[in-house]
Chains A and B, each alone.
Chain A
């Protein structure tokens, strides 16, 4: 994770455009993340935001306003348009928190679709702010959920990535000491997921 952040900074330093990011989470049936990864692909983001989200006022400085700003997605929108300078700038931690909130909130939609459809790959199952949420629900009764937050549509790539991730997960889960609630800390798993993400996303 830290490595990814470092890479991220490098990208910001090299070219001032924001790299497209993907946020990947593996959630246990009790909604606990077992693994998470933030992947920055080299492709630039084409800004498709609504014109309404431009020129946002910074209307209050209280901490609660900060929460609201972050949750409404304004902080990242500001970053889009002011390209890192000026405007409301909230720390990456706050953003990360928002991303997690969105991932968590998207579970509502995933659970609904999941119970109706038997498909494992639920593409673009939810949208929130600028994020599209795609999900993958593993077979069997354990219902592990893979969630990816992405900004542009890339159905095929994500599907391939999810299949890779599934395979990697199944291999990890074959460890007899691995339960549905064991966080995945395997370095091999991590590096393979990163490789697949680099290739497909």
Chain B
């Protein structure tokens, strides 16, 4: 391809052609060797003789300071450019080098082959002389036997590199000298008047190659050519030379070129010359040709002189095209000189100006009559001129200023002219680097761009495809290296358009050709009609080059911010299943949720994507079509209209189908973002839900307490492990269907088709069928996937496999996110949301693939220090198969129970085993509405110790529902039934209860080896509605002391028998019972006595029965034996029934109060054991218990109930008949009746009834004291140690000195007793009256 090197005007083009059968690599290698000679010093060229032929050769006088510049293309310019031969001789090859190998089999025929090769590349209309030589490289050193005398073949023996190079240099120098000789011959021919006429004919001076020589000197054709290697088709050279020799009288002088004198006849004036020759045309063009020739010959000084001459001529007779060309030539000269001398001055301003001038002249040329032919050339010249300018600036810029690097770039750009050494590394394309180049060179990038943009315009259409592509390529590359990537993309679009147009048109031509060539085969017109049936023939289109075009398209799109590779195209080999892909966390980030900044120009993006798809379709590369469509959809769907989206989707689907049909092994990966939002296990129905139980439960015998106080069984109030345990794996059952609900998301406006959706699991085998899904447009769509785990063990649901039609299946994982990750994700989201609307990177740097990654990194950084945690997925524990039970029937109607408070009844439940497994474990637990609040209250721990005990007692001993397992061994074989009986207790306040039946096939768990820790149960729940009528209310319990009662009541006791036994050990229990219900009830209170008869523990010794009518209250009184509990019994702490953790009491009670509280508690317990209340429906059969649990025992009641430890009895005696004998004073109504003023004896009998021994003192009090005369002391009468059961008596004489009522009291105090109260006291009332 053309390189638009700045100095191309000064380069001799020598074509390299392969000759004979040689390999490409051989040719390339040898060509590279030859190409290393990009310049040859003039000193190496054979010095010309004085012959006119050798005018262009360096003279002996001139010091060989100049250089010949060579370029070695391997393709000739297109034939269509031939009209430019004279205007632009440097564009055409002046020499041909054939490259062959000595070891080629057909070496002998090399000259023939070479001729043929030359004929192929040099058209017959080629006007310029072409020198030729064929280099035969020896590959082996034993090539001695070869015929080395082949005509026009130079054999290059195998030598070391240096020698070869030397040899090649010599050969090239001799070829160059031949070229120069031929060229000077050719130029000489033009010098003739007729030559000059041809030169001035038309705009481009077309030289008819066939006419010129024949018209001039036809007979000279047979003459042997001056050089055996020169082009035989150009015999004009010698003829012309011959005819013009006469005019040339002198050899060229050292400073003045030779041609000038003969042609111009001493005067330098153009006008004169024109007339002097006698031809109508000026010599301007001729001088320009001379200038060009000298430029090629490396003689810059001569060239400048001739150019100046030409310019002078054009001043008079404007010829803008040639004028501009002269300017271009002139501009080249300083560069050559600078290169040769290596000066670092800044002479590029001048050439740049000249070129600017030239380009403006080119652009203003108005073509002549045959416009259509001239436009392409004019445009081409104009554009090359502009590009020459641009490449000058670009070279200087990229070489950091005017200097040797720049000269080299300008002269010999090498194979990659656009990549200067300063920009080889991609990092060097950064803004800073490019700006540095601008500052160093003093050329702004915008300047270069401005020049370049002049080359671009509608006139591009004039050009042929070849030139256009080359030019666009050059412009694009230059823009690219200027860092103007949008402009590059713009030009590349045009380039793609150009290439694709050729592809499409070429195919059409081919089709036409094929059709027309096929026609003769078809016999008759009818054969063409489809009715006869035609065979569809699919051409296998060549695919080479497609990749390049696709790459270009992708690049253009990427510049516009569309990543066409967002969806990968992959080869599907025979291994259809790809290895499991393990996720990194980042993939989990749901991109769709984040606010995205729009990047790029949506309208342009869509346009470009459409074009890209059209390109891929035209190639055709259907996999790329699909890739482009899907990538565009993935990235651009927010800005696309629904029509576009639908079209793209349809296009992609079609393309994928075509890909598959055509047997293309490529297909696209799954493309939409993450389609799966959530995966959830549909919760198992309660009756199927397995529950893990400890195996120890199977051995446990007492189940009830544990269950009732389930909440409190944990010995710790706060157990950190409890929350962990509750998060255990979900349990599912082997061989039973599991339903997973997968939520899919479709953000597009079309219905998304998924050809298969299946769960991705690991662990135990999971049987599930992939299902096709159609996700409706713009929605979240739930899908149910059913499957079964075939073994017991762990099942991990990693995510889903998703496959689009004809696409590749892809796994999407859905790891469980821990709190930390959620936190991280949230942070990231906030960080991104925070950055939304702020702009750090603008323009192209804002593209996600351009943006530096530090931003994201900084957000993740803190966590990256920690070791990455393993990713967790949804985890299930598959337990072995479990039996299934159902409730067949119950004895309840509408599962409701109605009870009186305290009543008991039973519920019968019939269970049926509907599974094929045996049930050998059955356990019933219960729950009722009173338990919850009570347990809650217990948990809160705010209750007093007493209340806690009461609540616990209530929970444990007074459950609404209870079950007595008849026997531990329960077995329900498959299909069989069993009945269980549950008793139900009416407890006020209960509204409902439930029966939980848990069952299992426990032998399975027990049978394993090693024995499992756990087994799995299932449970059934049967709710019961409970109605409890609260009909009898007990309140106002009281306990009265017997003696006090006597006092109050006055006379008579209800039960005289009490008096008989041990009068002072009795008290009275009384309670009010109110009937709040509509029916009368018979209430019975019974006293159980275990003290009387030890053999019969709980016999009813006394009872009171009363019928309580509706709405009325009855008081029930029952005599009660006083109690005395041992000290150590009564001082025990109030126990906890549940064995909970001990809680330090919060109450600030004194030890005295605590003691009292404990006493009250224990005495009450004793009382409740003794007294039992019962009720019975009057005239009915229903009966039940009356609870006294709500009654409180108060301190006076305690006193009444408790027996004093020491029993004090006071008697009043009077002197009997005998000195010694005493008799008890008359008693009436509990009072002693004594006469006044008489000596009496007071006997105090003290008896220790307590189990302990005491040392005690007694005190006696009289009231009123002053009317009593007594003997002895009253206070602190020592009694000594009174043993258990021992009785002491004290006697003292007293005398009442007045009538009236006296109170006598005696108190016994225990020595060192902790309290101030007396241990026992007695009193007597004496009525003193006269007889």
- A interface list, Cβ under 8 A from B: 27-33, 49-53, 55-57, 59-60, 62-65, 67-69, 71-74, 77-78, 97, 100-102, 104-109, 111-113, 115-116, 125-130, 141-143, 179-181
A107 and B486 within 8 A (CB)? yes
Of B497-505, B586-594, B773-781, the one contacting chain A is B497-505
The CA of A138 and the CA of B502, in the complex, are separated in Å by 45
A101 and B500 within 8 A (CB)? no
The CA of A49 and the CA of B598, in the complex, are separated in Å by 37
The CA of A143 and the CA of B842, in the complex, are separated in Å by 8
B870 within 8 A of A: no
State whether A129 and B445 are in contact (beta carbons under 8 Å apart), knowing that A51-B364, A67-B494, A181-B598 are contacts in the complex: no
B431 and A115 within 8 A (CB)? yes
Residues in B with CB closer than 8 Å to A109 are 446, 449, 484, 487
Contact residue among B490, B501, B597 (Cβ-Cβ distance under 8 Å from A65): B501
CB neighbors of A among B1048-1068 (8 A) = none
A142 and B839 within 8 A (CB)? yes
Could you write out 25 A-B pairs with CB less than 8 Å apart? A30-B843, A33-B603, A49-B458, A50-B364, A53-B457, A53-B459, A55-B375, A56-B461, A57-B372, A64-B496, A67-B494, A72-B457, A73-B457, A73-B458, A100-B603, A105-B489, A108-B486, A112-B444, A112-B445, A113-B446, A126-B446, A128-B456, A180-B838, A181-B597, A181-B598
A127 and B450 within 8 A (CB)? yes
Residues in B with CB closer than 8 Å to A143 are 839, 842
Residues in A with CB closer than 8 Å to B489 are 105
A118 to B: closest C-beta gap in Å = 15
Closest residue of chain B to A56 (Cβ to Cβ) is B461
State whether A97 and B598 are in contact (beta carbons under 8 Å apart), knowing that A71-B493, A108-B483 are contacts in the complex: no
The CA of A101 and the CA of B456, in the complex, are separated in Å by 14
State whether A125 and B599 are in contact (beta carbons under 8 Å apart), knowing that A60-B501, A73-B457, A116-B435 are contacts in the complex: no
The CA of A101 and the CA of B489, in the complex, are separated in Å by 10
Task: Tell me which of A53, A68, A100, A143 has the highest count of chain B C-beta atoms within 10 A of its own C-beta.
Answer: A68
Beyond the given A30-B843, A143-B839, could you list 14 further A-B residue pairs with CB under 8 A, ordered by the A residue number? A29-B839, A52-B457, A56-B459, A56-B461, A57-B372, A62-B501, A62-B504, A64-B504, A72-B457, A72-B494, A102-B490, A112-B444, A127-B453, A129-B456
The CA of A11 and the CA of B839, in the complex, are separated in Å by 41
Contact residue among B372, B378, B461, B484 (Cβ-Cβ distance under 8 Å from A69): B461
B687 within 8 A of A: no
Contact residue among A30, A51, A97 (Cβ-Cβ distance under 8 Å from B839): A30
CB neighbors of A among B535-561 (8 A) = 560-561
Residues in A with CB closer than 8 Å to B461 are 56-57, 59, 68-69, 72, 74
B597 and A104 within 8 A (CB)? no
Closest residue of chain A to B498 (Cβ to Cβ) is A68
The CA of A72 and the CA of B497, in the complex, are separated in Å by 11
Contact residue among B458, B496, B560 (Cβ-Cβ distance under 8 Å from A77): B458
Task: Tell me which of A53, A60, A101, A179 has the highest count of chain B C-beta atoms within 10 A of its own C-beta.
Answer: A101
B614 and A74 within 8 A (CB)? no
CB neighbors of A among B432-452 (8 A) = 435, 444-446, 449-450
- B interface list, Cβ under 8 A from A: 363-366, 371-372, 375, 378-379, 382, 431, 435, 444-446, 449-450, 453, 456-462, 479, 483-487, 489-490, 493-494, 496-498, 500-501, 504-505, 560-561, 597-604, 607, 611, 614-615, 618, 836-839, 842-844, 846
B372 and A52 within 8 A (CB)? no
Residues in A with CB closer than 8 Å to B598 are 28, 30, 32, 181
B487 and A29 within 8 A (CB)? no
B458 and A56 within 8 A (CB)? yes
Residues in A with CB closer than 8 Å to B603 are 33, 97, 100
Closest residue of chain B to A66 (Cβ to Cβ) is B497
A60 and B505 within 8 A (CB)? yes
Residues in A with CB closer than 8 Å to B614 are 63-64
The CA of A127 and the CA of B454, in the complex, are separated in Å by 8
Residues in B with CB closer than 8 Å to A69 are 461
Contact residue among B371, B372, B837 (Cβ-Cβ distance under 8 Å from A179): B837
A30 and B459 within 8 A (CB)? no
Residues in B with CB closer than 8 Å to A71 are 490, 493-494, 497
The CA of A69 and the CA of B460, in the complex, are separated in Å by 9
The CA of A179 and the CA of B596, in the complex, are separated in Å by 13
B843 and A51 within 8 A (CB)? no
A177 to B: closest C-beta gap in Å = 10
B453 to A: closest C-beta gap in Å = 5
A101 to B: closest C-beta gap in Å = 6
B843 and A52 within 8 A (CB)? no
The CA of A72 and the CA of B495, in the complex, are separated in Å by 11
A67 and B378 within 8 A (CB)? no
Residues in A with CB closer than 8 Å to B493 are 67, 71, 101
Residues in B with CB closer than 8 Å to A97 are 603-604, 607
Residues in A with CB closer than 8 Å to B365 are 51
The CA of A65 and the CA of B463, in the complex, are separated in Å by 13
A139 to B: closest C-beta gap in Å = 14
Residues in A with CB closer than 8 Å to B453 are 126-128
The CA of A181 and the CA of B461, in the complex, are separated in Å by 39
The CA of A141 and the CA of B843, in the complex, are separated in Å by 13
Contact residue among B457, B611, B837 (Cβ-Cβ distance under 8 Å from A50): B457
The CA of A31 and the CA of B846, in the complex, are separated in Å by 9
Residues in B with CB closer than 8 Å to A64 are 496-498, 500-501, 504, 614-615, 618
The CA of A60 and the CA of B498, in the complex, are separated in Å by 10
The CA of A179 and the CA of B833, in the complex, are separated in Å by 12
B739 to A: closest C-beta gap in Å = 44
Residues in A with CB closer than 8 Å to B460 are 68, 72, 74
Contact residue among A56, A127, A180 (Cβ-Cβ distance under 8 Å from B462): A56
Closest residue of chain A to B495 (Cβ to Cβ) is A68
Closest residue of chain B to A141 (Cβ to Cβ) is B839
Residues in A with CB closer than 8 Å to B494 are 67-68, 71-72
Residues in B with CB closer than 8 Å to A72 are 456-458, 460-461, 494
